[in-house]
Amino acid sequence: MRVFAAIWEALFPYIPRCVVCGTEKDVSCYLCPTCKEEMDTLIMGLTDTTGLTACAAYRYKGSAARIVQSFKYGGNRWLSAFMAQAMLHAAVNTHTGFDCVCHVPLHNKKRRKRGFDQAELLSKRIAALTGKPYLPAIKRIRNTPSQTKLNAQERKENMRGAFEAAQIVKGRVLLVDDVLTTGATAAACADVLKAAGAQSVTVLTFARAEEKE
């Protein structure tokens, strides 16, 4: 397999493409200059959400939103490399310290339908980049309806009793998801992690969406 992979790489070498527009010209760190300029206007960092310390790489708008949609619904898992790198950069810039990484899990039915768990993929990449342990510390025990059209209070009610701890947790936990909106899902997971022994929980997402009224 290694020999085949080496031959394939020699015949078809990887050419970096912009994750937004797909161009191969002047691409650095997954972005061409034009798309980087747009993405830079969407950069976030620390973001307010009730009762939680949270950090997001970008606002959920424009190209950042399209990247999430392509990753999550288009099956483009390779985008996780760029997303995880951007998320980690945001965490470093906001001095977010952590001892382990876990994720907001999908229910098994939704995971089977989608074919993968986007937050799990992001959390494993971040763990690999930092050398911190990845912990599958949370289990989703209730297949909740989609949160997309729900307001803040409805999201909170929707998440009630949706998760349970899968193992004992110690230290400072970095809780990873793709998008943060009202924080209802993250708060439910944080409560489970703290009950399982976490010293603290910091939420890290690729994007932060605007809350619905």
List pLDDT tens digits, range 201-210.
Answer: 999 999 999 8
Does 56 share its domain with 145? yes
> Higher confidence at residue 157 or residue 54?
54
Give the pLDDT of residue 2: 55
| Least-confidence region, from 110-114, 141-145, 171-175 | 141-145
Report the C-alpha gap between 20 and 29 in whole angstroms: 12
Give the pLDDT of residue 176: 98
Residue 7 has pLDDT above 50, yes or no: no
Instruction: Please identify which residue in the block is written with the tokens 């009762």.
Output: 51
- When pLDDT is averaged across residues 193-198 and rounded to a whole number, the result is 96
Report the C-alpha gap between 196 and 79 in whole angstroms: 32
- When pLDDT is averaged across residues 130-155 and rounded to a whole number, the result is 81
* DSSP annotation of 162: -
Does 184 share its domain with 109? yes
Does 105 share its domain with 198? yes
CB-based contacts of 20: which residues, under 8 Å, 6+ apart? Answer: 31, 32, 35, 38, 39, 63, 66, 67
Predicted TM-score (pTM) of the model is: 0.87
Does 80 share its domain with 13? no
